[in-house]
Structure formats: structure tokens, C-alpha cells
Amino acid sequence: MSNASHRSALARGIKLLNKLLDPILDLVFPPKCEVCKQPGKAHLCPDCFSKIKFMKPHLGIYSVAVYEGTLREAIKRFKFHKRKNLAKPLGILLVQYLSQTPLKIEELDMIVPVPLHQKRFGERGFNQAEHLAQVVAKYHELPVVNAIQRIRNTKANFDLPRNERFANVREAFAVTQKGQVENKRVLLLDDIYTTGATIAECSKVLNAAGAKRIEILTLSRAMEVAA
């Protein structure tokens, strides 16, 4: 047996083993919805999915729904409890939402996720915006380009009072490679839109690097409590 056919026989063997193990694992760890814990194969069950009410675009920004209830719980599980299996259902939610908006994604060239700083990336191990971008990109056959990097660590904007949020992220971003976004039509993607400070800074660096068009998509929009 040649090395190559040996390897493919091995790969088939592993695949078969996984297939046999899957039902056993399902018995030991029954699959369930990450949010409501209802048993089932979906990491975000149809019941939870249907509770998320789509929002209309606001000031040209596309956000799927208000950061509350089921969506808030799902995002928290995804980000802070590192349940990466939620990337797919949340990404599908983005795709479904987009299909109901006037935004023509086929007119765009790439998806750029809002980056995490290296330090937070190290703690969390993944960039949630990038994982969401991958799902949308696969569906629409667009590339995900990590065109922006954080050049300084910032505090979590979410916890700061509004007046400090803009200062917190000012000059915190830069493009990774000159020319990567030049003349390109970009879909900038993040998980939560709060004051828009992060999105504004990212748009600024994309603009400065010559992006031709910038559209903004976020999974949720946090409504600020009036002071």
C-alpha cells in the first residue's frame, strides 16, 4: 500500500470511528440549545431563533436586533463562555437578516471583522467578529480580510460611560497592509454596536486607506439607558 492510499484509508477509518462515536457522545452529552437548554441538535434552537426580532437599518447601519433577551444571552455564551459552536447559528442569523435588507452584498468585495487586541485575543482565543464573518463570507463567497489591527489596547468600551468611549478607541486602529482595501467595497462587521465609537474609528482608517465604499453590519445594537 502506498503512503497516500494508506493515509486515505486511515482518514476513512477515523471518519467511520467518529460516525460510530457520535451517537454515543450524544448519549453521554446530549446536544442541547446553548441558550434555553432544550434538547436538540441545534446550538440555537428554532424557538430561540424565532424570538429574535429583526431591526430596521438605523442611520445606514445594519444591526440584526436589539442586544437583549435571547440574542444577548447567545452573544454572551458565544463570547464570554467561548461557545464557538454558536458562530454558525449566529452567522446564519446575519445572513437571514441581510436577505431582508436593501443591502446588496454581491456589490461588495470583502468582509472586514473589527479586530480584537492581541491581549484580549490571547485571553479569549478567538475573535468573535471574525468567526461570524467567516459564516457570512462562506455563504456569499466573499473573502474575509483581517485588514484592520488594534495598535493599542483599549478598555472594553461596553463598560465605559459614553463620553469616555470615543477617547478610549481614538487612534486605536490601523490598517494591516497598505493597498489591501484601496478602491474596495467593504462590509465592516462587529458583534455589538453601542455608541458607534469603535465602528467610527475603524471606518476612519478604512477611508484613509482608500476604501471605496463601507457598509456596516453588526449582530446586535445595545440601546443606551438615558442618563
Residues at the interface with Zn ion (CB under 5 A): 33, 35-36, 38, 45, 48
Beta carbon nearer to Zn ion, 33 or 64: 33
Residue 85: CB minimum distance to Zn ion, A: 13
Residue 54: CB minimum distance to Zn ion, A: 18
Residue 41: CB minimum distance to Zn ion, A: 12
Residue 86: CB minimum distance to Zn ion, A: 11
The 3-class secondary structure across the chain, one letter per residue, is CCHHHHHHHHHHHHHHHHHHHHHHHHHHCCCECCCCCCECCCCCCHHHHHCCCCCCCECCEEEEEECCHHHHHHHHHHHCCCCHHHHHHHHHHHHHHHHCCCCCHHHCCEEEECCCCHHHHHHHCCCHHHHHHHHHHHHHCCCECCCEEECCCCCCHHHCCHHHHHHHHCCCEEECCCCCCCCCEEEEEEEEECCCHHHHHHHHHHHHCCCCEEEEEEEEECCCCCC
CA–CA distance, 40 with 74 (Å, rounded to integer)? 16
Backbone φ and ψ of 10, nearest 5°: -65, -45
Residue 12: CB minimum distance to Zn ion, A: 35
Beta carbon nearer to Zn ion, 96 or 168: 96
Beta carbon nearer to Zn ion, 37 or 104: 37
Beta carbon nearer to Zn ion, 8 or 38: 38
Beta carbon nearer to Zn ion, 71 or 111: 71
Beta carbon nearer to Zn ion, 36 or 66: 36
Residue 78: CB minimum distance to Zn ion, A: 14
